Amino acid sequence: MAASQGEQLNVLCERYLEIVFSDRGNTFLLLMQAPLIALLIVLTWRDVDSATDSLYYVMALTSLWFGTFNACREVVKEGPILDREARLGVQPGPYLLSKLLVLALISFVQCLCLASIVNRSVPLGGPPLLHFLYLWLTSLGGVALGLVVSCLMSNSDKAVGSVVLVLIPQMLFSEMVLSHEHSSSAIKWAEDFTFLSWAHQGMKELTKADWSYVTLAQSAFMLFLLTAGLLAVSLFLLTLRTGKAQS
């Protein structure tokens, strides 16, 4: 009899965590990215000791990249293992959730390093803990985006190559790149589907003296909604794949 979804989730989480910790070189590289990029950001903004809009944009973009790159190979590299285990009864839901939880942990550490190092030299304006939470939510969005890429591609190289294709639109459709007075309504509409716009809006709102809780909640909710949407797509793709493997 196949194990319940909860038991599967436990085993898959433990195993994935062990794989991550046992690959010390790669994990070290992943965790070192954040402080190194944070130092480069500090170097760029060191003469501006109050945060600028562009700083929030760059930090949100960095977090999104962290999440997407962390996740983009994680399903595709285990393709044959997943197919074999699907035949033995492993469900796509627990499998996807195990990836999400472990990658969320890595993103948490990365965003914490990024926000704390930058905040030490360039005060972020507003509570840094909330800035960190927006960055983490953005990074989780990146993880969801990376998982979709990973489910779609047939090998790791293609997955890494495709990351640029999904991240460039995220960067382009932003008020920071082209102000609203110059952008078309189609671009403004596209902005609503980018993590960067919502993260940027939330972080900017935090710097105001009189926060609008509605704006803060709206930004966080939209980040959550976009992430959930992409995870649903990943789940659908995984269900198709495991269904094919079982038949």
Partner 1 sequence: MRKILVLFILLAGLAVGVFIVAGRVRGGDGVDTGSSADRGQISQLSLKFMEDLRFKDFQHAASYHSSEDRKKVNIPQLIEQWFAVKPETLDIMRYEIQKVDIDSTGKRGRVKVKTVVKILNMNEIKEPEIMLYFFKDPAEGWIMELESSLH
Binding site for partner 1 (CB under 8 A): 9-10, 13-14, 17, 48-50, 52-53, 101-102, 105, 108-109, 112, 115-116, 119-120, 123, 125-129, 132, 207-209
CB of 47 to partner 1, least distance (A): 8
Structure tokens at 36: 């190194």
* Smallest separation, CB 147 to partner 1 (Å): 17
Three-state secondary structure call for residue 126: coil
CA distances, 215 to each of 134, 140, 209, 212 (Å): 13, 20, 14, 5
Tokens encoding 210: 């009189």
The residue (of 162 and 174) whose beta carbon lies closer to partner 1 is 174
- Report the nearest approach of partner 1 to the CB of residue 110 (Å): 11
Closer of 71 and 159 to partner 1 (Cβ): 71
Which tokens belong to 42? 């500090």
- Closest separation between CB of residue 136 and partner 1, Å? 9
d(C-alpha 87, C-alpha 2), whole Å: 11
Task: Indicate the residue among 62 and 98 with the shorter CB distance to partner 1.
Answer: 98
> Exposure string (b/e) for 80-98, b if CB count within 10 Å is 16 or more?
eebeebbeeebbbebbbbb
φ, ψ dihedrals at 219, nearest 5°: -60, -50
Output 51 or 153, the one with its CB closest to partner 1.
51
d(CA 128, CA 176): 21
Mapped onto helix, strand or coil, the DSSP state of residue 62 is: helix
Q: How far is the CB of 204 from partner 1 (least distance, A)?
A: 11
In residues, how long is the chain? 247
